[in-house]
Structures are given as C-alpha cells and as structure tokens.
Amino acid sequence: MVSDFLVSREEWGKAIREGLSAAWPICVGYIAIGLAFGVIARKTGLSPLDIGLMSLIVYAGSSQFIAVGMLGAGAGFWPIVLATFSVNLRHLLMSSSLSLYLRNLSGSRLSLFAYAVTDESFALNMSRFQGGNWGWRPALVVNHATNLTWLLSTVAGGIGGQFIPSGAFGIDYALTAMFLCLLVFQVRGLYHVLVALFSGILAVILSLWMPGNGYVLIASFLAASVGLLLRKTTGRKIEQGENA
Amino acid sequence: MKGGIISIIIGMGIVTYIPRWLPLFFLSRRRLPPWLVLWLDFIPAAILSALILPAILTAGTPRQFEWNRLDLWVAIPTLIFALRTRSLAGTVIIGMGLYWLISRLYP
C-alpha cells in the first residue's frame, strides 16, 4: 500500500516534469491570448470573477471571444450557447483521435482528461503519443497546466491587462510557430502531405465565405476522408514507393 | 444580467464538454475497425493545416484573402527551421523572435 503510493508519487513527479517541459510553448501563447481576452471581456462588462468562471467552466478560447462579442451585441442565452456548440464541435474529432492512445483508463480519468482537450493540447499530446514514451499522466499534466495558465491569464487581463503592451516579444506568434512544428511532426509520408495540403486549402476557401470557425471541422473531416479513400484505392503502390 | 451571465457560462460549458467527452469515453474502451484507425491517423495533420493556413493567409471579419502579411512571411523561415531541426522549443523561439524583430523594424 505504502509502496504503491510511493511509486505513483514518483511517477507523478516524472509526469509533472515531462508535462511542464512539453507544455511551455502552449502556456506562452495562452498568456498572450488570455490577457487579450481578459481585457476585451472586461470592456464588455464582465467582472474578473465572471471571466474566471468562464475560463474555468468553458475553457475554449475562440468560443469565449465569440461569446463576449455576442454579449456585447446584446445576444441572449440560446444564440450564444448554440454558437459555442458549433465552434467547439471540432473537439469531437480531436477526442476521437486521442482515444487511440488513452486505452484502459478509468471513466473518471477520461472525463478529467476530456475537460481540457484543446486544439493546442491535442496537437502536442498527439505528437508525443505517436513518438512513444508518452503516457496519460504527462498528457494530463499538459492539459491542466495549460488550462491553469489560461484561467490565470484571462483573469489577470481582466484586472490589469490594459497596462501590458501588446505584441511584446512576439508572444502573439507562439501558437502559430508551435502548430507549424507540430504539423512537420505529423507529416509522416506522402498521404499526410496530401491530406494536409487538401485540408489547408479547403479551410482557406471555406473560411472566406463561412462565418465562425466551422471550416476547421469541415475541412479536416473531408481531408481525412479523402486521405483514407486514397490509401484504400492506391494504397500498396505508393506505400512500396515510400519505403523504397 | 448577473444571473443571466452565469447561466450562459454554464450552458456554454455543457455544450463544450460533450463533444470533448463523448468520443474519449466511448471509443477508448472499444476495439476500433482498421479503417477508422487510419482515418483518425489523418486527423491531426488535417486539423493543424486547417488551423494554420487560414491564420496566415486570411484576415479580418469577414475573412479576406491577404497573402502579404507578416504572419505568412515569418511562417516560411519558421517552417524551414522546423523541418531542419525538428525542435519544437527552437521553432517556437525562432518564430516569436522573427515576428517580434520584423514587427519592430517595420512597424
């Protein structure tokens, strides 16, 4: 019993070190966006407590911006909740993808993990899981360290964000740079290149004529399906070409 | 208004949590068919590309195509750096540094 406790303590210590050293690029990006969100939300009339509650209960950056924009425009409960639903539906794909690597976890651990699945934590954890040597503990640390960073930055932005110069040290670019590198990790063959190109181009086109960010879900759903079709129909030939 | 904002936040929280939770809770205990595993394997590359390209090639609301933006020009050396080094930390630092430097030089 005691030794069990010690083992899991040691494992958690390792997980916290690994998780934090992986999560910092996300945290840097979240500080920038979180402060900006806090400032805007405060200007719309939310108190720092409201801001903290929203970051804790919703924890989804772009939908929080949209909700605050809609609140400012006088929208009520249903329009805001429906907009939030449609903006965050893309997490469905991410959680499906993560489920490949989170086998045999208890329901409560899965539920705790699911709460903090974001574009960023998903992308980072997926690339780590695929590289092997990654488990649910460090992944959970990534999820909740980034969640805590978001919570604190949005509240700080609400309290005193207007005093922080915007664009300091290029922190606005942290997440784009991280996504670029994670995309490089994801592209592991010709099929992935084709899927990424198709998805990106489709997303640009869709984003020009549909409001919100539904284009992420639609483009990536279609691109992955096209990738699957290509692989099923032309599979072996290209595979052999790649290995040669 | 006060009660209103709290109920909106709770409503937002519920509809955000469900899509995050459902697949993890149900798929992770199930043996998945091979085609689904293949399909899911393409999802990260597809999502990342669908997030990045509009962010560096379009701007404004409603979005307009704008190819001549700092976000795009910094993305090119950042991408090359990522391809060469495969270092996440290095790429983030290079990207931020270039973005900051260039926005300082050409405000």
Q: pLDDT tens digits for A99-133?
A: 999 988 999 999 999 999 999 999 999 999 998 88
Which of B13, B49, B103 lies closest to A199 in CB terms? B49
Handedness of CA A140, A114, B40, B88 (dihedral sign): negative
Nearest residue in chain B measured CA to CA from A88: B16
Lowest mean pLDDT, pick from A34-38, A178-182, A236-240: A236-240
Q: Cα–chain-centroid distance for residue A3? A: 36
Q: In chain A, what percentage of residues exceed pLDDT 70?
A: 90
What would the mean pLDDT of B38-42 be, rounded to a whole number?
90
Cβ <8 Å between A96 and B5: no
Instruction: Tell me what ipTM this predicted complex has.
Output: 0.89
Chain A environment of B9 (Cβ under 8 Å) = 50, 53-54, 57-58
Q: Is the Cβ pair B23, A115 closer than 8 Å? A: no
Q: Do A197 and A170 belong to one domain? A: no
The residues that bridge with B59 in the sheet, in sequence order, are B64
Mean pLDDT, residues A163-179: 78
Q: Residue type for A107, please?
A: G
Q: How many other CB atoms sit within 10 Å of the CB of residue B70?
A: 14
Asked whether A172 and A34 are in contact (CB, 8 A), the reply is: no
| Residue range A77-83: mean pLDDT, rounded | 88
Task: Look up the domain containing A115 and give its range.
Answer: 2-186
Question: How many whole angstroms separate alpha carbon A211 and alpha carbon B31?
Answer: 37
For residues B79 and B60, the answer to whether their CB atoms sit within 8 Å is no
* Residues A215, A161 share a domain: no
CB A221 within 8 A of CB A93: yes
Mean pLDDT of A74-85: 87
Q: Does A32 touch chain B (CB under 8 A)?
A: no
Last residue within a domain, chosen from A186, A209, A230: A186
Of chain A residues 138-197, which have a CB less than 8 A from chain B?
A: 167-174, 176-187, 191-192, 195-197
Subunit contact B23:A117, Cβ cutoff 8 A: no
Give the up-direction half-sphere exposure of residue A144: CA atoms within 13 A in the CB hemisphere: 13
Range of the domain at B23: 1-30
Q: Cβ–Cβ of B32/A100 closer than 8 Å?
A: yes
User: What tokens does A164 get?
Assistant: 């922080």
A204 in the same domain as A86: no
pLDDT score recorded for residue A210: 87
Same domain for A181 and A202, yes or no, is no
Instruction: Tally the domains of chain B.
Output: 1
pLDDT for position A244:
34
The answer, as to whether pTM is greater than 0.95, is: no
The answer on pLDDT for A96 being more than 50 is yes
